[in-house]
Chain A
């Protein structure tokens, strides 16, 4: 376990537990159960076994030879989370939390989902472990990600559309929290990112830390050393936290988180919390968020549903202030270009979320020498985005 957060769930000034009193005792129980499980060898063994035999871990590290040559600089390595069962890193956390839920005697899990990847991962883990499952999803996201909605239903989950507010991820989280407040005795809320009240940011990071731990070993084995740069996209920030954690102690390894720059810098046109946001409370945690002058959450936009969220994990806010991680943003168009580039040069269709990390790499790779390495967390595959990209480009399928 890492030193942070402190016992109150704070990463420096960020984090905490801003939730209704009803949830406080359950959050304390959850934290205890999590710490106890992580000390229990049998729990670790069961989780590691599922990650290996069910998810296909360890995921490979691929050297992107043609992509690197095209960019003309560093050697670019891809940590292939897209090859996890269900197609993204989300399953690592979903399995961890569902196992924990079962251990706590909960019979029902709920979750929010934006693009549908976390929802699919939770529905999958719930099916595997025999838990009843309900997924909340904004109706706008249901429209954009119809395939994943049906996929979750195939897995036996109930998908509930949320028609409030902006009808997207933020509103799905509100509704999931309301469900949890109401059914807290029977239900575990599987939060999908390093967001929300303590212990979620810590717990989700720990379940995703396997990404960085594997990549650290693989880089040393395949490349013969550590990369100069590690890049990941940041929505809530779970895939980034998962890969960064292993490299944090190595000051020579630069860490960059890439946010969604959307259509441009106007409030409502992007989801670049560190560029256009300020500290405040949303969904139970104190962190950077996009808000208006009265403290109401501002609308966001991104081509990628998974990055289209107004707040960011509190540990990222801490890393930003302490300057251990640099946060940048790339536009919808840049992400789309990188989506195509990787597909054509490497035969890998990345998720639009991941394409943001790749877009940043296309900009900076040239400033590194061919002997240096860049590691990108290829957090998910892009099958879910194919229809949306076609629509945006005026292609009729």
Chain B
């Protein structure tokens, strides 16, 4: 289990709030700016950062994150470069980092080499949106050997059997996809969400973070009442798209994250 991720959830729980997990796409708008954006997220009070590795065919992503991946790839972002950024972050920060990557960039990098390099630079966990439990074994084995978590993803369509499969892989937490769909803002979160999160927590015995579709402080506040962690992604990515290379971006992102963080309090 990653001690950094575990500690972040413990700290949040002690403060009677859900952990805030912030997603951005690495290399957007340029690889050179990712480090300062990560630092802005940390200053804003993010508990865990989820860093997306841009990929040419992101089938689980909606238009906002797809456009970010296109910008990052056009700016020359590679998995090797993303790992280098995390290495630099670790000189000054213990912010837990979960890499979000489709399978193929990892396979092209080389699975065992990836696991080793990820652990070396200080990656805490890995989310693989197109690697379900059935395909996870080689990824899980390589990552576990070096102490990096493979964070299982569950969805509203997951059967009980599948939820229990995820239990075997899960360490600090499982990631619950809030609705059947791709990443991106949703006007409303499903009414069944709370019951589903409670069931997943019961069946896996693990913390549950909710992602996909959560974009507003009010939604964070609602999810924080029953989930252990809340993931906000596209809303941050949309701000990055809006500001582009403008230096104002850093301050704006930090202020937005502070609002989200304030919304994570329970009760």
Contact = CB atoms under 8 A, between A and B. Distances in A.
Interface of A: 8, 16-26, 164-165, 170-171, 174, 177-178, 181-185, 280-284, 291, 293-297
Contacts of A18: 103, 130-132, 135
Given A20-B155, A21-B177, A25-B159, A174 B59 contact: yes
B79 interface: yes
A16 B158 CA distance: 18
Nearest to B66: A164
B104 A22 contact: no
A293 B79 CA distance: 10
Which one of A164, A181, A280 has the highest number of Cβ atoms from chain B below 10 Å of its Cβ? A181
Given A19-B130, A25-B157, A184-B180, A178 B57 contact: no
Interface in B77-115: 78-80, 102-109
8 contacts: A20-B129, A20-B177, A21-B153, A25-B159, A178-B59, A182-B180, A281-B102, A294-B105
Given A20-B60, A293-B108, 10 more contacts: A17-B134, A19-B59, A20-B153, A21-B155, A22-B177, A22-B181, A178-B61, A280-B104, A294-B108, A296-B55
Nearest to B63: A164
A280 B107 contact: yes
A295 B182 CA distance: 22
B31 interface: no
Given A25-B157, A165-B56, A295 B162 contact: no
Interface residues of B, number: 41
B108 A24 contact: no
A282 B135 contact: no
Contact of A24 (B78, B105, B132): B132
Contacts of B158: 21, 24-25
B180 A185 contact: yes
Which one of B59, B79, B107, B156 has the highest number of Cβ atoms from chain A below 10 Å of its Cβ? B59
A8 B134 contact: yes
Contacts of B62: 178
A181 B109 contact: no
A164 B105 CA distance: 19
Nearest to A19: B130
A181 B177 CA distance: 11
Which one of A25, A177, A280 has the highest number of Cβ atoms from chain B below 10 Å of its Cβ? A25
Interface string B152-180: 01111111001000000000000001001
B132 A297 contact: no
Given A165-B57, A178-B59, A280-B104, A295 B132 contact: no
Contacts of B162: 21, 24-25
A84 to B, nearest CB: 31
B73 A296 contact: yes
Interface in B31-49: none
A291 B55 CA distance: 11
Contacts of B133: 24
Which one of A21, A22, A164, A185 has the highest number of Cβ atoms from chain B below 10 Å of its Cβ? A21
B210 to A, nearest CB: 14
B57 A26 contact: no
In order of increasing CB-CB distance, the 8 nearest A-B pairs are A295-B108, A296-B56, A22-B155, A295-B105, A295-B104, A182-B181, A281-B103, A21-B155
Contacts of B157: 21-26, 184
Contact of B56 (A25, A178, A297): A297
Given A21-B162, A22-B156, A281 B59 contact: no
Contacts of B154: 21
A181 B105 contact: no
B207 to A, nearest CB: 17
B73 to A, nearest CB: 6
A16 to B, nearest CB: 6
Interface in B52-75: 55-62, 66, 70, 73
B130 A281 contact: yes
Contacts of B156: 22
A177 B60 CA distance: 8
Contacts of A282: 57, 104
Nearest to A8: B134
Nearest to A166: B56
A17 B73 CA distance: 26
Which one of A183, A280, A296 has the highest number of Cβ atoms from chain B below 10 Å of its Cβ? A296
A185 B192 CA distance: 16
